[in-house]
Amino acid sequence: MSEIKDLTICSDAQIMLKKAQEDGIETAWDRLKKQQPQCGYCELGVSCRICAMGPCRIDPFGEGPQLGVCGADADIIVARNLARMVAAGSASHSDHGRDIVDVLHKIGLDKTSCYNITDAVKLKSVAKEYGIKTDGISEKEIARQLAEAMMDDYGMKKDMLTFISRVPKQRVDIWKKVKVVPRGIDREVTEMMHRTHMGVDNNYVSILLQAVRSSLADGYGGSMIGTELSDIIFGTPTPGMSEINLGVLKEDQVNILVHGHSPIVSEMIYIAVEDKEMLALAKSKGATGINLAGLCCSGNEMMMRKKIPMAGNHLMTELVIVTGAVEAIIVDYQCIMPSMGQISQCYHTKMYTTSDKAKFNFMEHVEFTPENAKEQAFKIVREAIENFARRDKNRVLIPDAPVKSMTGFSVEAIVGALGGTLTPLIDAIKAGKIKGAVGVVGCNNPKIKHDYGHVELIKGLIANDILVLTTGCVNVAAGKAGLQVPEAKELAGPGLKEICGALGIPPSLHVGSCVDNSRIMVIASALANAIGVDIDQLPLAAAAPEWYSEKAVAIAFYAMASGIYTVLGIMPPIGGSKKVVDLATSGLNDVFGACFAVEPDPVKSCALITAHIAAKRKALGLEV
């Protein structure tokens, strides 16, 4: 086994990996090693399993078949495979949004006592965007109408999703020209699946353009709806402090973790955990309190709104169980490794699934509906408290002390921090104090040293006076590395340091969960509209240094389509088609004003991004 310190930069992870070895627990790193070498055809994207005439593969060394049974060449096979990744990613985000629309609808119909409107101001402003008259009607009525209007966005009633109105006109004109304006959230995904069926779309450009459209139906559709409605129902995040890393677990408290994505579940657990009766029950069992912490995007949502600490990101999720200190983990959907169920069997940890859509072995299913969510949350918290007694103190190891991290930078919060408008930010960019902004987003992948890709890139960017916005797993990486506190301004370049000092913000801002990448799109559109240019002229970039998920492919596509240069740390499976690679790394520039680059080394990707931002500044006539 390779050295543990080569696998991750985080000391809490290193300590846990050692304990996992001793406890005989297999992790994602171990399983990746066993899979080596992974299938060369699949790595290059030239294997196709779409129909029963196959499975087919193209031999990149020229000796074997060059066409699938249907006659598809490598370009078509690679394009179809990539497009289906985008479809799956878009579908995931969109389904997440859908469930929240359902909750809003139930709020509007007065069918749920568990949820209500927290940010009524945002409710009204979003409703206005949907053409709903908000004067003289109740909140619940606005909610119902808004939910039903958003359901239309999901269907085939429209020519253009509502939130596209937020995007600069020049950008939408580009999308109109190549027919990628998203018409319906579910429609684009369905059409993507249709087009990639055997014998439908067999031109790699055409397939990939529909993939762009599907991704836009996510970024300005499912994800954005998810973000906005979560703000409306649970509160728009405001800046505040929280904590990150395994040290947030407490030895003397009942530790409950939320994992997955939707605040629909985690916010209910929060209510149960804060309840006086539950607290009393916990104390009666010998705990000093109940400690709620988050993993992955559920954690991000709770951290942004309720300042709940985060225990870890994607590759930490198995290791958190290995601490032996967790009474319960409640999951809903996405990014939950099935191995967690198996690992929980080796400790006293109980795991619960809450969504009909996501069932796992070794986890108890406690189904949450908008009607019973609170009740179910209390049931689970009660069981978790009972489980505290089964914790074996001799097997507990909580490494490290927690690291402070600032959070809560919604668009509203950023604008608020800037004094009410984006003007100070625009001025800072014009003056060169902030050279530009980069969204560093995405997951972890054991193929890249855990958190190394994220942290090195962010350090490099902020040292170059580039403001960083983080979402998803990157928040945990940056937070753990101490980059998301105001004191981190010392690591920034002089210009960025000055701005951070003046505003009391860190150089790396936690913007939210992965659906909250839509917040970055909102800021980008707002900046572009304010200055009067298209998004691709702005000194912006995006990076996903350690991505693994199909959702990340969808996000990368919608970022690129919005005009934002996107650097990926892991090569997507497209290497088998020179044409697709050329299109992705340069051809797209001609259409969207942005393209992709692949660079696993964060030092090199930092150089690529800083050069890109310098070029954009130069083109705008700004000092480089």
Partner 1 sequence: MKTVIVKPERCVGCHQCSFQCAVAHSTSKTSMGAISESILSKPRIRIYLSSGKENFPNKCRHCEPAPCEMACITKAIYRETKSGIVLINQDRCINCGMCAMACPFAVVRYYPYILNREAAHKCDQCIDRQKEGKVPACVEACKVGALLFDEVNKKMDEDAEKLASLIYLGIRQRVAEPDTFSSLVAYKQKLNEIRRRQS
Q: Which of 62, 199, 532, 621 binds partner 1 (CB under 8 A)?
A: 62
Collapsing DSSP to helix, strand or coil, 258 comes out as strand
Asked whether position 73 contacts partner 1 by CB under 8 A, the answer is no
C-beta of 392: minimal distance to partner 1 in Å? 37
Query: What is the nearest approach in angstroms of partner 1 to the Cβ of residue 554?
Result: 23
Nearer to partner 1, 42 or 366 (CB): 42
Q: Is 43 in the site for partner 1 (CB under 8 A)?
A: yes
Q: How far is the CB of 228 from partner 1 (least distance, A)?
A: 40
Q: Kindly tell me which of 17 and 581 has the beta carbon lying closer to partner 1.
A: 581
Q: Give the separation between CA 189 and CA 194, rounded to whole angstroms.
A: 9
Stretch that binds partner 1, among 34-42, 279-287, 360-368, 495-503 (CB under 8 A): 34-42
For 124-144, the three-class secondary structure string (H helix, E strand, C coil) is HHHHHHCCCCCCCCCHHHHHH
Interacting residue with partner 1 among 2, 3, 24, 37 (CB under 8 A): 37
Q: Give the bridge partners for 294, in sequence order.
A: 258, 310
Note whether 60 binds partner 1 by CB under 8 A: yes
Phi, psi of 565 (to 5 degrees): -60, 125
Rounded to whole angstroms, the Cα distance separating 93 from 555 reads: 10
Strand, coil or helix: 254: strand
387-392 CB contacts, 8 Å cutoff, 24+ apart: 387/254, 387/327, 387/328, 387/348, 387/349, 387/350, 388/254, 388/282, 388/285, 388/286, 388/287, 388/327, 389/285, 389/286, 390/348, 391/324, 391/325, 391/327, 391/348, 392/324, 392/347, 392/348
Q: Is 44 in the site for partner 1 (CB under 8 A)?
A: yes
Q: Which stretch binds partner 1 (CB under 8 A): 36-44, 324-332, 356-364, 554-562?
A: 36-44
**CB atoms inside a 10 Å sphere around CB 25:** 20
Considering CB under 8 A, how many residues would be counted as binding partner 1?
17
Alpha helices for 307-410 (secondary structure H): 317-322, 339-344, 373-387
Q: Does 463 bind partner 1 (CB under 8 A)?
A: no
Region 91-150 residues binding partner 1, contact defined as CB under 8 A: none
Residue 42 Cβ, how far from partner 1 at the closest point, in Å? 10
DSSP-derived 3-state class of residue 349: coil
> E strand or H helix at 277, and its extent?
helix 276-284
Taking a C-beta distance cutoff of 8 angstroms, is the pair 565, 597 a contact?
Answer: yes
**CA angle (312, 223, 460) in 5-degree steps:** 50
Q: In the complex, what is the shortest distance from the CB of residue 166 to partner 1, in angstroms, rounded to a whole number?
A: 38
Which stretch, 33-41, 212-220, 230-238, 300-308, contacts partner 1 (CB under 8 A)?
33-41
Pick 85 or 326: Cβ nearer partner 1? 85
Closer by beta carbon to partner 1, 430 or else 579: 579
Q: Which CB atom, from 64 or from 501, has the smaller least distance to partner 1?
A: 64
Nearer to partner 1, 51 or 530 (CB): 51
Interacting span for partner 1 (CB under 8 A) from 97-105, 210-218, 571-579, 611-619: 571-579
Q: Which is nearer to partner 1, 39 or 200 (CB)?
A: 39
Q: How far is the CB of 40 from partner 1 (least distance, A)?
A: 4
CB of 246 to partner 1, least distance (A): 34
Angle between helices 223-234 and 120-129 (to 10 degrees): 150
Specify the residue, 578 or 618, whose C-beta has the smaller distance to partner 1. 578
Q: Please report the sign of the dihedral spanned by the C-alpha atoms of residue 441, residue 446, residue 447, residue 451.
A: positive
- d(CA 588, CA 244) in angstroms, rounded, equals 38
Find all residues with CB under 8 Å of 21, minimum gap 6, and list them.
1, 4
- Work out whether 2 is an interface residue with partner 1 (CB under 8 A): no
Minimum CB separation of residue 33 from partner 1 in Å reads: 12
Alpha-carbon torsion 78, 556, 43, 259, what sign? negative
Contacts with 15 (C-beta within 8 Å, 6 or more apart), sequence order: 397, 399, 400
Considering the rule CB under 8 A, would residue 39 count as an interface residue with partner 1? yes
Stretch that binds partner 1, among 9-17, 38-46, 186-194, 198-206 (CB under 8 A): 38-46
CB of 300 to partner 1, least distance (A): 33
In the chain, count H helices and then E strands: 26, 16
For residue 40, state whether it binds partner 1 (rule: CB under 8 A).
yes
Q: Identify the residue among 15, 17, 41, 534 touching partner 1 (CB under 8 A).
A: 41
Nearer to partner 1, 58 or 123 (CB): 58
Q: How far is the CB of 37 from partner 1 (least distance, A)?
A: 5
Q: Is 504 exposed, middle or buried (0-12, 13-18, 19+ CB in 10 A)?
A: exposed
Helix axes 223-234, 139-154, angle to 10 degrees: 170
Give the binding range for partner 1 (CB under 8 A) out of 62-70, 285-293, 445-453, 548-556.
62-70
Q: Is there binding between residue 575 and partner 1 (CB under 8 A)? A: yes
Least distance in angstroms from the C-beta of 74 to partner 1: 10
DSSP state, residue 498:
H
Q: Which of these, 239, 511, 287, lies nearest to 384 by C-alpha position?
A: 287
Q: Is 600 in the site for partner 1 (CB under 8 A)?
A: no
The distance of closest approach from Cβ of residue 575 to partner 1 in the complex, given in angstroms and rounded to an integer, is 4
Nearer CB in complex with partner 1: 72/535: 72
The length of the chain in residues reads 624
Q: Site mask, partner 1, residues 217-236, x = CB under 8 A? A: --------------------
Put residue 335 in one of left, alpha, beta given phi > 0 → left and psi -120 to 50 → alpha: left
Among 24, 52, 63, 590, binds partner 1 (CB under 8 A): 63
How far is it, in rounded angstroms, from Cα 107 to Cα 119?
13
Among residues 137, 271, 485, 571, the one that binds partner 1 under rule CB under 8 A: 571
* Among 12, 56, 57, 503, contact with partner 1 (rule: CB under 8 A): 57
Q: Which residues of 286-313 are buried (b: 16+ CB within 10 A; e: fewer)?
A: ebeebbbbbbbbbbbbbbbbbbbbbbbb
64 binds partner 1 (CB under 8 A): yes
Q: Which of 36, 284, 361, 394 binds partner 1 (CB under 8 A)?
A: 36
Pair of tokens at residue 61: 């060394």
State yes or no: residue 69 binds partner 1 (CB under 8 A). Answer: no
- If one asks whether residue 286 binds partner 1 (CB under 8 A), the answer comes out as no
Residues near partner 1 (CB under 8 A): 36-37, 39-41, 43-44, 57, 59-64, 571, 575-576
